[in-house]
Chains A and B, each alone.
Chain A
Amino acid sequence: MLARIGVESLDELFEAVPASLRSRAELKLPPALDERALLRFFAARAAENANVQSSASFLGGGAYHHFVPAAVDALASRGEFMTAYTPYQAEISQGTLQMIFEFQTLICQLTGLEVANASLYDGASAVAEAALMAARLTRRTRICVSAGLHPHWREVLRTYGEGVGLALETLPLDASGRTVLEGVGGDCAAVVVQSPNFLGCVEDLGAAAKAAHAVGALAIAATAEALSLALLKSPGELGFDIACGDAQSFGLPLSFGGPYAGFLAAREKHVRQLPGRLIGESVDSSGERAFVMTLTTREQHIRREKATSNICTNQGLCALRVTIWLALVGRRGIRRMAEINVALAAYARRALTRAGLRLPYSAPVFNEFVVEVPRLAAKLERCRGLGIQPGVPLERFGAEHADRLLVCTTEMTARAQIDALVRELAA
């Protein structure tokens, strides 16, 4: 091979690198491990973490522990899916392309909207992209954001918005835990409301859409717990222009926060301002139905600095898992699973109330809610010793939340676990 290239040593291949830049010393890295040693190394580190399979976990707050059928892993692990890339070459990427077309359809069905893209990084960047899209469409820069939007999502929205001069204004929550809409001002580009919101409360989305439209703003619905879309009226039905969020609940492992699957759906008339990839139906030269990346003139590889977003690689494999999960759970299953989530949360709320604890918000909830727990810190410590992850202590998100815990129950939660949690929190 060297002879064909016309060099005498491998080193000569790097002649273009000035001598002053060539590394003389070897990289300082830990020694190489063979496969057995590698697995031992990671297993030891993994054993230092608490995980939701070995704990009674009531953690939610934007990442949810849901059932994943065995077939999801089996199918998503197929090398033809996992080791392919962005379907630039449509003729040998029809598997990925048809799958994304199905993903786009499923997201449209769940959100009640007309177009959905092929995924974004996570719910946080999906909200940010939605706000940027609304700013382009309305040529306005003020975004009214519900205080019930996930605090991390809001931070990402701020980071993204700053670059192009978006100003965020907060719509507070009322005593029931729902967004106060009176503050929606006349010159805002969008009203962003999450439902169920970060405190678990199901919002009056219809009212939020009306408030946005009354001032010529776009209404953006954010969803962190995507399973709720199976049961609650869809953003599209309630008049929203854009729906965004994270589909992690549909088959994605918690995996310390990623990779998840951001989604973004909108009205058809706004499709040219939609960020990210879109797959469309077409035909091949013999007239057979086939799928292909389309409307790419919105994208960075064509339009460079004039693109609707800088996103290139998205969350393709996560979109695949979501599509498989939704296909397996199916029409009746997803509704039933949502109803089970509601039933468990209702049971937990009643049990906690009966045990004398206060639930500060009265708005309806889906599968998570806030509970006030006097002397919370001590009880958290005790729960940890018992293998219970009792929920998200909210104080880290604001001093007003001292001694408040965000508790989530899903179809993975057993009644006995709830009973144990109630015992510990009420003790």
Chain B
Amino acid sequence: MTAPGRSGLVFREPLLFESSRPGRAGVPIDDPDVPLVDVARELGADLIRDDVPDFPELGELDVVRHFTRLSQWNYGIDSGFFPLGSCTMKYNPKVNEVVARLPGLAAVHPLSDEAEVQGVLALACELEAALAEISGLDRVTLQPAAGAQGEFAGVRMIQAYHRARGDAKRTRVLIPDTAHGTNPASAALNGLEVVEVKSGADGVVHPEALARLCDASTAALMLTNPNTLGIFETHVEKLAEVVHAAGGLVYLDGANMNALLGVAKPGHMGVDVMHFNLHKTFSTPHGGGGPGSGPVAVRNALAPFLPVPVIRREGDRYLLDDEFPHSIGRVHAWYGNAGIWLRALAYIRTLGAAGLTEVTTRAALNANYVLESLRDVYDAPHARRVMHECVLTDRRQHDQGVTTADIAKRLMDYGYHPPTIYFPLVVAGALMIEPTECESQETLDGFIDAMRSIAREAETEPGLVTGAPSLPIVRRLDEVRAARKPRLRWTRSP
């Protein structure tokens, strides 16, 4: 099979500021139909700045070419296979973009009178109900702007729950060593102490290990299930029992929900609070690093602590309710990244129940297919079957002087986006591969061929791998130099 990677014509493109020419403008701004005023007199001369020095001056075509050329240096899901583990790089349906751009949604002001936004509130309610059903939990807020903000809000609600019961000494959060970095960071942002839980040699957390760490100071366990090795935490019910017996609550990081849709519900596993990453599981665009959307689902016992406002239905009217005396408060200026959660609702309405279950089934099929097709050439840290993603390592290639980073860069020359690398931290030289349900067997076979070919190169011609990549617009980056003498903006004289 011929690898899809091929070098096309790409263009050099300077910074906006370097192509700027005095007097150019991209769009004409006509005078208003009221008289212009002397701004210095209107506001006071001491408040007014000179114009912005070195601000760009470019024609519309200059700007169009600039960003078109920049886009061509990027790799997106629309470009090719993007098996970035734990990020669920699935296809982003184009119709969802059309939905989000409807003027009746995109041009709605967040301070419109409630009577003027009944449609958007109804859609929010519908999405909340769908996420509650998928999670097996009771109430949902769409307010958090991304997964990490969902974690922050969820952990804060757990703290509020304990405090409301007069249980103020719960200051520690237990977090497995396979967790995403946001989990400990979110706990710390809430002023809590992080206690690491070691996962077993089989890749999962064991109830006995957890029990040794649980006591009256335990606020919560933050669990990712399936975990970042792609493995279902088989003891999850027992883990929840252990934490609950100690008086703590169970938080689920929902980053890997693509493995559970219609197959199992966190609410049935003993989970009390969880967040979703709509940009992962529910197909909203990753946007080169956001915007995301991180709704939080909770059991009824935690509902009084939801961030305000809460959307409430009263008869046939929807209200934004601020009157929640035990609420943790607001976490977002408005009701979250509406333009994003609307796209997620469009995705759920397109697939329905059967479609969502098929998503998870196919995601598991693809992940296990990749794993079993590569296990003989790349070391797999665990012998188990996986859910939606798998982890391989560079252990065998390392002896040939080829590392995970080299393999990742070489994949670019074959035309693939690399997997997540060096994560989870518990696996040395991890390559974390999440193919998603969207990819055909032919695409997977192409990727598998490339990975096998790279393994052969590591044996016979390691320089090809360690010198990669050669096809992208730039070669390997000097990251040390960037950090040692940080240059974080353009200035006229460097």
Contact = CB atoms under 8 A, between A and B. Distances in A.
Contacts of A344: 32, 34
B402 interface: no
A61 B111 contact: yes
A29 B353 contact: yes
A155 B330 contact: yes
23 contacts: A17-B234, A27-B353, A29-B356, A32-B354, A49-B105, A50-B117, A71-B27, A82-B76, A91-B473, A106-B55, A121-B332, A156-B333, A164-B191, A230-B51, A256-B120, A259-B338, A307-B188, A311-B148, A313-B292, A339-B39, A342-B39, A346-B37, A384-B115
A427 interface: no
Contacts of A418: 34
Shortest 3 CB-CB distances between A and B: which pairs? A257-B334, A46-B104, A317-B287
Nearest to B124: A256
Interface in B337-354: 337-340, 342, 346, 348-354
A333 B289 contact: no
A96 B51 CA distance: 28
Contacts of B1: none
B291 A99 contact: no
A124 B149 CA distance: 12
Contacts of B338: 255-259
B433 interface: no
Contacts of B239: none
Interface string B232-273: 101011000000000000000000000001111100110000
B119 interface: yes
- Among B55, B335, B364, the most chain A Cβ lie within 10 Å of the Cβ of B55
Contact of A46 (B55, B119, B331, B385): B119
B89 to A, nearest CB: 7
B108 interface: yes
A357 B47 CA distance: 27
B133 A28 contact: yes
A259 B291 contact: yes
A317 B105 CA distance: 18
Interface in A109-128: 109-110, 114-116, 118-119, 121-125
Interface string A1-31: 1101111001001111110111100111111
A42 B180 CA distance: 35
Contacts of B262: 23, 26-27
B147 interface: yes
A80 B79 contact: yes
Contact of A80 (B27, B76, B105, B423): B76
A50 B120 CA distance: 10
Nearest to B264: A21
Interface string B13-56: 10111001000111101011111110100111011110111111
B477 interface: yes
A353 to B, nearest CB: 14
Interface stretch (A169-177, A186-194, A213-221, A271-279): A271-279
Interface string A269-306: 00100000111111111101010101110011111111
Nearest to A256: B338
Interface string A341-384: 01110110000000000000000111000000000000010001
Contacts of B147: 312-313
